[in-house]
Amino acid sequence: MLGAYVKRELRLGFLAIPWPLVNFFRLRALHNRRGLKVHVGCGEDRLPGFVNMDCRLTSATDATMDLSELDIFAPGRVDCFFSNAFLEHLYRMQRLPHLRSVCRALDPARGFACYIGLPYFPNIAKFYLERAPGTAGPVFDLYNVYRYTHGDPEQAPDWWLEQLHKSLFDDQELETLLAAAGFASWAIFCYSFPGDYNEMPINTGFYATVSSEVAGSIKEACLNFLGSLGELRDKKIRLDSIEFLRVSI
């Protein structure tokens, strides 16, 4: 596994290697490696056993690059791509090329992608119209809507554009994207975020495979993988709130 960077340079004794050079060689080393597990858009969350990647340098990143396409990985070499709260930050026209590059890089026999943390627009609209309990306050008001439709980018003034949400999702939209990207089977679900003011099923995600799966096993595989994420799971997803919306085999 690649080691974490030290500040913005790698120190080898008295020698300080600048981050751009370290990053260049790390990215080159990834191209032909097999059996990789890749954490896409890691932010400040480091997953042990994964290559943690982001478009910007953080305390968690092993390598940095533009993540709109992942052609840096040779076809069929990656076992798993995982992301949380990433896909909605791509422009609409970038989503399908990104997912196609993910599908192409995955091992054709056992490869899968699991993306979570996508705003689930049907419930965003429903909860606003019903004035349901809010996730950032007692009532699901326009600010609650704004957090999911736009990403509340004012919280990140140094990377406002990157933080801005550029897409909305429902289960039909995700299914259309996954089919067009070349995935053979998938399970799409919604769920609640642990620690919200009111834990409402406002997020969606998918678990998609390159090979065909029977309906029961892909749900089980999805839950088993999410359950394996340890501390990150406890921070990002309430497993007992998961509701499967669409399963395709």
Which residues, in sequence order, are CB contacts of 15 under 8 Å at separation 6+?
none
Which two tokens mark 221? 């595989």
Residue 14: pLDDT above 60? Answer: no
Which two tokens mark 183? 């995935």
Residue 127: pLDDT above 60? Answer: yes
Burial letters for 170-202: b for 16+ Cβ neighbours within 10 Å, e otherwise?
A: bbebbbebbeebebbbbbbbbbbbeebebebbb
Residue 2: pLDDT above 70? Answer: no
Q: Report the C-alpha gap between 195 and 173 in whole angstroms.
A: 27
For residue range 193-249, list pLDDT tens digits in order: 999 999 999 999 999 999 987 777 999 999 999 999 999 999 999 999 999 999 998
For residue range 36-84, list pLDDT tens digits in order: 999 999 999 999 999 999 999 999 999 999 999 999 999 999 999 999 9
Residue pointed to by tokens 């995700």: 174
Strand 63-64 versus strand 51-54 pairing type: parallel
Q: Which pLDDT belongs to residue 216? A: 79
Q: Report the C-alpha gap between 43 and 55 in whole angstroms.
A: 9
Which two tokens mark 151? 């990403």
Residue 13: pLDDT above 80? Answer: no
Q: Which pLDDT belongs to residue 19? A: 81
- Tally Cβ neighbours within 10 Å of residue 29: 11
Average pLDDT along the chain: 92
Q: Report the C-alpha gap between 60 and 193 in whole angstroms.
A: 21
- Domain 9-119+156-248 in CATH 3.40.140? The answer is no
Task: Indicate yes or no: pTM above 0.75.
Answer: yes
Judge residue 217's burial from the number of C-beta atoms within 10 Å of its C-beta, 0-12 exposed, 13-18 middle, 19 or more buried. Answer: middle
Tell me the three state secondary structure of residue 238: coil
Residue 25: pLDDT above 50? Answer: yes
Give Cα separations from 99 to 87, 131, 134, 178 (angstroms): 9, 35, 32, 7
